[in-house]
Structure 1
Amino acid sequence: MKKRIILIMALASITMLLAGCTEINQPIDSSSSGFWNEYIVYPLSKVIIWFSELLGNSYGLGLIVVTLIIRFAMLPLMIKQTKSSKAMQAIQPEMKELKDKYASKDAATQQKLQQETMALFKKYNVNPLAGCFPLIVQMPILIGFYHAISRTAEISKHSFLWFDLGNPDPIYLLPIIAGITTFIQQKITMAGTQSNPQMATQMTMMLYIMPVMILIFAIKFPAALSLYWVVGNIFMIVQTLVIKGPDMKKLAAENAGGAKKK
């Protein structure tokens, strides 16, 4: 778990460093230089413009379509991540037994615990870092898409539904929907997840902190970004329900059966 957290933090730092190498308010165009601009942000910007013009010069529809395309492209990775998390959950009871068995904190005991844990992973063909791979792929793409939206000048000149894409939503409806859908998406993702009390507390904190953060950002940022968050969240909600649906139904049936016995 520690290695996984370190890997995620290192990845986030590298990605934010790449993203920070360019000014977020600097327009993106063919003259923009640097790997981040030339190979991630500018291509995404061109794709948004192309679809928007194809859809009758509607940049709102263009953003929705490109958001969905990116989410669909990452779907196999998300399925892999879900399977990896499920496999880790399945061996949690045996991992707990090992931790109880080797509870002593001396170096020899901890080394034995590590050996037994690795043997357990090998036995069930579980890679504890497999769940990080989708994050490695999707984080630069999602941050690049954020840059493309923020730095594509054409987007700020158009409106969609009741709001201007380049300005914050005047009635705050889109930010509110973004916050609510973020909460729902995280709540569904957490459903059926077993974790130790410390991890459960951290997940619960994130469940409430993330929607508030998204709400605050969405109020201040251009409505185009709020639209991206809303569409992405709705897709993730449907995706999670489809992937985890059978497990959630099974868990609900088990809980219902346990309640009847009581």
Structure 2
Amino acid sequence: MKMNKRLVLILILTVLTVFLAGCGDFNKEITVDSEGFWSKYVVWPLVSLIIVFKELLGSYGLGIVVVTIIIRLVLLPLMIKQTQSSKKMQEIQPELNALKVKYKSKDAVTQEKYRTEMQKIMSERKVNPAAGCLPVIIQMPILFGFYHAISRMNVTYDIGKFLWFELAAPSITLAIIAGLIQFVVLRTGPAMANPQMKVMMYIMPVMIMVFGSFLPAALALYWVIGNIISFIQNVFIYKPFKKKEVVPVKVGGKKK
């Protein structure tokens, strides 16, 4: 149920972001004098940052890479908080599963006891399931802002290539790379311990490959760089390659 609510929230945010972005502006030139909240305070700051680093480093591709790293570093405290919350959720999952077994009856009284016990565990362990939504809420406008920035920059500037990828044109190869790295990120994160999240481990990479195959390659480059940073973060926080110890689960004061 909580997972369904989260997916509905993400869908609503996506629709609202697309609406606020104004789909008709994709082919409109973007300048410092562009009007409208979205253009002035989201798209143009991203474009100007990319241009600054293009002048310093010699290519728009490197500018996009650096701006992506800067954005992810700014979001890093939130991302760390999210991953720590996910890790705690992963740690208490056996206890929550044991509660489901203990209160398997569907009558209202039993289910109320189940919810009370579940909230007690989460409160004691300081776990907030909603914490995982915050980075999504913040990154959604940035992602669409990048899409707008790249699309509208291409009207005025020749954004050229990064390695052999034409940044203004779709690249199936880069989209596949982005999707595969996304899979690795989810595989090394909390998804493996949460059955509900395991579904996303397969859906998300496919979605990125599909969308990336017809969106500008610059956006796929943003996904690639961002997910590399997420993978490094997972290695330090989740330690996915370290052998995990089996910890006894306590239910009602007894170990199982």
CA distance in 2, matches of 1:86, 1:173: 32
Match of 2:217 in 1: 223
RMSD between aligned residues: 2.6
Counterpart code for 1:118: Q
Report the number of matched residues: 242
Residue identity (%): 49
The question of whether the paired residues in 2 share the 8 Å contact of 1:4 and 1:129 is answered with no
Show CA shifts across 1:78-131 (max 9, x none).
111111111112222322232222222222222222222222222222222222
Counterpart code for 2:46: L
CA distance in 2, matches of 1:13, 1:4: 14
Match of 1:117 in 2: 118
- Report the CA distance shift for 1:91/1:19 in structure 2 as closer, same or farther (over 3 A): same
- Report the CA distance shift for 1:131/1:156 in structure 2 as closer, same or farther (over 3 A): same
CA distance in 1, matches of 2:163, 2:111: 59
TM-score by length of 2: 0.81
The question of whether the paired residues in 1 share the 8 Å contact of 2:184 and 2:231 is answered with yes
Matches of residues 207-218 of structure 1 in structure 2 within 5 Å? 207-218=201-212
Question: Is the counterpart of residue 159 in structure 1 residue 153 in structure 2?
Answer: no
81-90 or 224-233: bigger deviation: 224-233
The question of whether the paired residues in 2 share the 8 Å contact of 1:156 and 1:167 is answered with no
Matches of residues 61-210 of structure 1 in structure 2 within 5 Å? 61-153=62-154, 154=156, 156-169=158-171, 172-190=172-190, 193-196=192-195, 199=196, 203=198, 205-210=199-204
The question of whether the paired residues in 1 share the 8 Å contact of 2:17 and 2:140 is answered with no
CA distance in 1, matches of 2:188, 2:63: 28
Matches of residues 12-27 of structure 1 in structure 2 within 5 Å? 12-21=11-20, 22-23=22-23, 25-27=26-28
The question of whether the paired residues in 2 share the 8 Å contact of 1:4 and 1:132 is answered with no
Counterpart code for 1:223: A
Unaligned runs of 5+ in 1: 256-262
CA distance in 1, matches of 2:140, 2:73: 15
The question of whether the paired residues in 1 share the 8 Å contact of 2:167 and 2:218 is answered with yes
Query: Which 4+ residue blocks in structure 1 deviate beyond 4 angstroms?
Result: 154-157
Match of 2:238 in 1: 244
- Report the CA distance shift for 1:228/1:243 in structure 2 as closer, same or farther (over 3 A): same
Give 3-state SS (helix, strand or coil) of 1:129's partner.
helix
CA distance in 2, matches of 1:126, 1:179: 29
Match of 1:60 in 2: 61
Show CA shifts across 1:195-245 (max 9, x none).
34xx2xx62x43334333323333322222222222222222222222222
| 1:60 Cα deviation after fit | 0.8
Counterpart code for 2:188: I
CA distance in 2, matches of 1:33, 1:7: 33
Counterpart code for 1:249: K
The question of whether the paired residues in 1 share the 8 Å contact of 2:90 and 2:193 is answered with yes
- Report the CA distance shift for 1:219/1:240 in structure 2 as closer, same or farther (over 3 A): same
| 1:249 Cα deviation after fit | 0.8
The question of whether the paired residues in 2 share the 8 Å contact of 1:67 and 1:232 is answered with yes
Counterpart code for 1:142: L
